[in-house]
Amino acid sequence: MGTPDFSVPALRRLAAQDDFHISLVITQPDRPRGRGKKLTASPVKTAALTLGLDVFQPEKLNSEKAKEKLLSLQPDFFVVAAFGQILSQEILDIPKVLPINIHASLLPKYRGASPIQASILNGDKVTGITTMIMAKDMDAGDILMTSTTPISKLDTAQDIHDRLGLIGADLIVETIHAILDNHLEPAPQDHSKATYVKMLKKGDGKINWALGNRQICAHINAMTPWPGAFTNLGNKRIKIYKAQASDLPSRQEPGVIFQCDKEGIHVATGNGSLVILELMGTSGKRLKAGEFLCGHKIDPPVKFDSV
């Protein structure tokens, strides 16, 4: 069970195993996307059809009809990765061995919908994947296995997402084999250490220039590619894709562009300054700062968010 790109590596890795048989792939119904609002299949559906697997797309998996379909398959395992629906206890009780979830954090840290972004926003040095037994409460089940990866100052949410998708694919195969070989003892989570992260909204991308330069850089990385870190210059929205903390001092107030040079666009923050390296204006094209300045003349000092 899965829906977005994150789930696809695990599906492919499981399908490649000679000792596993995927009896069904469950994903969200096709949704309207893009400017034309054309009905579009999820990445998991596209991958499953390419692999020649049966696909089921219930609007509600907790329905009686869906339950009967799952029971008829007599599955040993459920493998769930970013499916997008909460499963009832009745559904979780169906597999003969276990329902297993692939979660993109080191639980009990960052239960919920945006663990990758949270790890970058909070300046964590390490993140990872947890495989766990699914429970009725969100991301609260016993831990089966974990695998870690470092977070660099340059990593965006997309970078971490792609790495964790591949790590999760390896870990789920390792987890199932360990269970079948009786080499794995589930470990209860320490619920007192649990933290929760919400689903992101478009407005969460707005940059707060009163924060320090390193915090803002982390925010830009965390919001890339979605919802995108943004600010306003006059009445125009500017998306910022890449920036780095700068040692260049500024006596300007936060959000003021105080210098433009070959290095980029220098902006004062609540603590220090940063230099914008890649951004997008109303043209809709992602540009390096130098390219942007060729078509958008900026005469410092001028302030972001001065609508």
Bigger pLDDT: 71 vs 247: 71
Q: What is the pLDDT of residue 226?
A: 95
Contact 38, 32 (CB under 8 A): yes
What number does CATH give the domain 5-197? 3.40.50.170
Q: What is the pLDDT of residue 174?
A: 98
Q: Which of 58-62, 108-112, 254-258, 295-299 has the lowest mean pLDDT?
A: 295-299
Pairwise CA distance, residues 302 & 296, whole Å: 13
Query: H-type helices in the chain, by residue range?
Result: 8-15, 43-50, 64-73, 89-92, 115-121, 157-180, 213-222, 289-295
**Mean per-residue pLDDT of the chain:** 96
Average pLDDT estimate for 25-30: 97
pTM: 0.94
Average pLDDT estimate for 260-269: 96
Q: What is the pLDDT of residue 170?
A: 98
Q: pLDDT for 184-204, tens place per residue?
A: 999 999 999 999 999 999 999
Q: Is the pLDDT of residue 57 over 80?
A: yes
Fold of the CATH domain 202-303: Methionyl-tRNA Fmet Formyltransferase; Chain A, domain 2 (3.10.25)
Q: Tell me the percentage of the chain whose pLDDT exceeds 70.
A: 99
Average pLDDT estimate for 21-30: 97
Give me 238's structure tokens: 């500017």
Q: Residue 101 CA to chain centroid, in angstroms?
A: 15
Contact 281, 242 (CB under 8 A): no
Q: Domain boundaries in the chain?
A: 5-197, 202-303
Q: pLDDT for 150-187, tens place per residue?
A: 999 999 999 999 999 999 999 999 999 999 999 999 99
Q: List 239's β-bridge partners, or say none.
A: 230, 280
